[in-house]
Amino acid sequence: MRALRAQLRAELVLSLRQGEQLLVSLGIPFGLLVFFSLVDVLPLPDGVDDPVQFLAPGILALAVMSVAMVSLGIGTGFEREYRVLKRLGSTPLGRPRLVAAKIAMVLAIEALQIAILVPTALALGWDPSPTTPLALVGVVAGTAAFAGIGLLMAGSLRGPLTLALANAVYLVLLLLGDMIIPLEDLPATLATIAELLPAAALSEVLRGALTEGQSAGAQAWLVLVAWAVAAPVAAASTFRWD
Amino acid sequence: MVRYGDVAAVDGLTFSVPRGSILALLGPNGAGKTTTVEALEGYRRPDGGTVRVLGLDPRRDRGSLTPRIGVMLQEGGVYTGIRPAEVLSLFASYYDDPADPDELVGRVGLHDRRRTTWRHLSGGEKQRLSLALALVGRPEVAFLDEPTAGVDPEGRQLIRSVVAALRDDGVTVLLTTHDLDEAERLADHVVIIDHGRILASGTPAELMQSGTSEEIRFGAPAGLDVRALTARLGAATEEVAPGEYRVGAAPTPATVAALTAWLAEHDLPLADLRAGRQRLEDVFLRLTAEQGSAATDDVEGRDRAGRRGARGRRARR
């Protein structure tokens, strides 16, 4: 227990110490939420006239993707690159506790993101429906899916390549993720592809859970859960520790 | 045996290290030192043969072995954004009865650098921190892969004294090095390997006596007239390396006197003179040279420069 606590503390300190990680996990979601809520330039789905109603759930999905895929993936990729994972392999820490500490680190940063983004959205006029449990299930499933994708890269690619690819995937999923641009405003083919990706699925799940009178379709849940199972399995089976 | 594809990186290597002693695994680059150590640390599964550490199988008994060993990788192994004090405390938390991180950071001379992140430490400071991390769990066995590589002379001295003190505490140490001086000074037992095979092993003293002592070695300006000298001494004289000479004769006072007289006649300076007991370096050079010519064709893509001799290697580092 002592080792797990110390490991979690180290993971948190190291991750929060890195300015660029904070920028990705907090700065960008916060900035996008505030800017596009106040500056009415984005297309909105039919029936929504206040941007924050559409943006807030999407930005929460973006926050999950930022920390679980980008921060975790890049951080772990460089730990592998610099042989930290290899070195830990000859200590009594063990892989289960290392993985547990990383999961706890991601969840703790997500709690911090929610603690900042939700009050901000509320202050901007967001009016969510209080179906929190379903939203939390969505966050957990999304975390599993994105952490799996991040670790799939981290465990098979060199550190710098993981850095580049995670950022590229982040940008693509941000644009195709129903986060700031509604899927219905994308060309039909692109929207169909986007619906099969975890970002749009998580956005729809969170929007359904948090918006009055809406609920996410079965397809979104199915896509999200499929990614939440497949990505970690793929990561675990291909992960190279040295 | 450990193979990489078709190449046997380590083959037929047999040695044991008595508890509380220091064994140096000595060899040129690419000799198989790291491969051997990693098999012992449990990172590599041997393709054949048996590996036991404290009587345990490094892979099968990993859980019971890791609390009892300390590992220093050849490079890296530490979070780039972490500080020495932090990482020592973190690693200490993995063990039931760890060393005091504060004491340890002082022991390796990093007290003033304990709040500096890893990426800002010098190469030598990183090595000293890695050594401290290998020791924080109070290991019974420490594996140190080239602990003094890239370290300045002062740092080397410090690392050597820390390692020597481990022996007094009853810790068994296996270190690799291509620094002959280090092996000679530090180790109770030296195993010289190349091409993954043992060339010689024994205490430094045994190894230094094992070679033929029927020779005199001396250093003098390069390009001496070795024919004339051979005629004068009545013994074959050759220039083994520029400015390094070997006389194939027992180092009797008469022969040595004849040699120095010849040098004096030609007004040549004598850089150094060794007779009888060889230095470990001589043994090493002779063994790796023999091995090199015997086995030049059996492994491809090896670091051939590694056979050029200790001087070349040191200069490159």
> Domain B2-209, what fold?
Rossmann fold (3.40.50)
B63–A94: do the CB atoms touch at under 8 Å? Answer: yes
Q: Do A86 and B93 touch (CB under 8 A)?
A: no
- What is the overall mean pLDDT for chain B? 84
**What pLDDT digit, counting tens, does each position of B44-63 carry?**
988 888 889 999 999 999 99
Name the residue type at position A114. I
Distance CA B53, CA B16 (A): 9
Residue A200 Rama label (left phi>0; alpha psi -120 to 50; beta): alpha
* Closest by Cβ to B93, choosing from A6, A14, A89: A6
Residues on chain B touching A91 (C-beta within 8 angstroms): 66, 91, 94-95, 137
In chain A, the largest separation of any two C-alpha atoms, in whole Å, equals 58
pLDDT value, residue B287: 76
Chain B residues with CB-CB distance to A78 below 8 A:
80
Query: B4 pLDDT exceeds 70?
Result: no
According to the model, what pLDDT value does residue A129 have? 87
Which chain A residues touch B if contact means CB-CB below 8 Å? 2-3, 5-7, 10, 13-14, 17-18, 78-79, 82-84, 86-87, 89-94, 242
Residue B62, min C-alpha distance to chain A (Å): 8
Per-residue pLDDT, B311: 34
Residue A48 has what pLDDT? Answer: 85
Per the structure, the complete domain to which residue A121 belongs is given by: 2-238
Residue B248, CA atoms < 13 Å, CB-side half-sphere: 10
**pLDDT value at residue A210:** 93
**Residues 6 or more apart from A42 whose CB is under 8 A from it?**
A36, A51, A55, A180, A181
Segment B106-125 shows an average pLDDT of 94
Query: Residue B274: its pLDDT value, please?
Result: 78
Residue B79 pLDDT greater than 70, yes or no: yes
Q: Residue B39's closest chain A neighbor by CA? A: A90
HEC sequence for A188-209: HHHHHHHHCCHHHHHHHHHHHH
Strand order across the beta sheet in which B197-202 lies: B69-72, B141-145, B172-177, B22-26, B189-194, B197-202
**Considering chain B, what percentage of its residues have pLDDT values greater than 90?**
47
Q: Which of residues 39-98 of B touch A (CB under 8 A)?
A: 41-43, 63, 66-67, 69, 71, 73, 75-82, 86-87, 89-91, 93-95
125-164 in chain B: CB under 8 A from chain A: 133, 137
Which residues of chain A have a CB within 8 Å of the CB of B133? 87
Query: Angle at the Cα of A17 (from A13 to A18), degrees rounded to 5?
Result: 130
pLDDT at B297: 36
B282/B28: higher pLDDT: B28
* Overall size of chain A counted in residues: 242
User: Shortest Cα distance from A173 to chain B (angstroms)?
Assistant: 29
Q: Sketch the domain layout of chain B as residue ranges.
A: 2-209, 212-275
Q: What is the pLDDT of residue B240?
A: 85
pLDDT at residue B5, rounded to an integer: 59
Query: Residue B314 pLDDT > 80, yes or no?
Result: no
Say if the Cβ atoms of A14 and B63 lie within 8 Å: no
pLDDT at B210: 65
Q: What is the pLDDT of residue B180?
A: 81
pLDDT 10s digits, A105-136: 999 999 999 999 999 999 999 999 877 889 99
Low-confidence ranges of chain A (pLDDT < 50): none
Instruction: Tell me which amino acid residue A216 is.
Output: A
**Option in A7, A13, A90 nearest B41 (CB):** A90
Pairing of strands B69-72, B237-241: unpaired
Q: Is residue B131 scored above 60 in pLDDT?
A: yes
Contact flag B90-A7 (C-beta cutoff 8 Å): yes
Q: Which residues of B touch A86 (CB under 8 A)?
A: 43, 73, 76-77
Confidence of residue B213 (pLDDT cuts 50, 70, 90): low
pLDDT at B86 over 80: yes
A&B contacts, CB < 8 Å: 69
CATH code assigned to B212-275: 3.30.70
Q: Indicate if the pLDDT at residue B134 is higher than 80.
A: yes
Amino acid symbol at A168: A
Residues of chain B contacting residue A92, judged by C-beta atoms under 8 Å apart: 63, 66-67, 94-95, 137
Residues of B in contact with A6 (CB under 8 A): 89-90, 93-94
Mean pLDDT of B35-39: 91
Q: Do A90 and B43 touch (CB under 8 A)?
A: yes
Largest CA distance in chain B: 71
Beta strands in chain B (DSSP E): 2-4, 7-10, 22-26, 69-72, 141-145, 172-177, 189-194, 197-202, 216-219, 237-241, 244-247, 272-275
CA distance A92 to chain B (A): 5
Q: Which residue of B has its CA nearest to A88?
A: B77
For residues B178 and B26, the answer to whether their CB atoms sit within 8 Å is: yes
One-letter amino acid for residue A206 of the chain: L
> B78 vs A79: CB contact, 8 Å cut-off?
no
Residues 239-258 of B with CB under 8 A from A: none
Tell me how far apart the alpha carbons of residues B85 and B115 are, in angstroms, rounded to a whole number. Answer: 7
Alpha carbon distance A25, A30 (integer Å): 9
Measured distance CA(A5)–CA(B116) in Å, rounded: 23
Q: How far apart are CA B38 and CA A47, in angstroms?
A: 64
Among A226, A62, A85, residue whose Cα is nearest residue A155: A85
**pLDDT, position A90:** 94
Determine contact, residues A80/A242, Cβ cutoff 8 Å. yes
C-beta atoms of B73 and A7 within 8 A: no
Return the percentage of chain B with pLDDT > 70, whole number: 86
Q: Pick the most confident of B41-55, B140-154, B189-203.
A: B140-154
d(C-alpha A25, C-alpha B273), whole Å: 68
Q: Which residues of B touch A17 (CB under 8 A)?
A: 81
Scanning every residue of chain B, which has its alpha carbon at the shortest distance from the alpha carbon of A98? Answer: B94
Q: Which residues contact B20 (CB under 8 A, 6 or more apart)?
A: B167, B170, B171, B172
Q: Tell me the shortest Cα–Cα distance from A66 to chain B, in angstroms.
A: 20
| More confidently predicted of B14 and A144 | A144
DSSP-derived secondary structure for A97-134? HHHHHHHHHHHHHHHHHHHHHHHHHHHTT------HHH
Looking at residue B8, its pLDDT comes to 65
Cβ separation of A83 and B90 shorter than 8 Å? no
Whole-number pLDDT of residue A212: 83
Q: B58: nearest CA in chain A?
A: A90
Interface test with A, best of B71, B91, B96 (most A CBs within 10 A): B91
Quote ipTM for the complex. 0.90
Contact B77 A5 (CB under 8 A): no
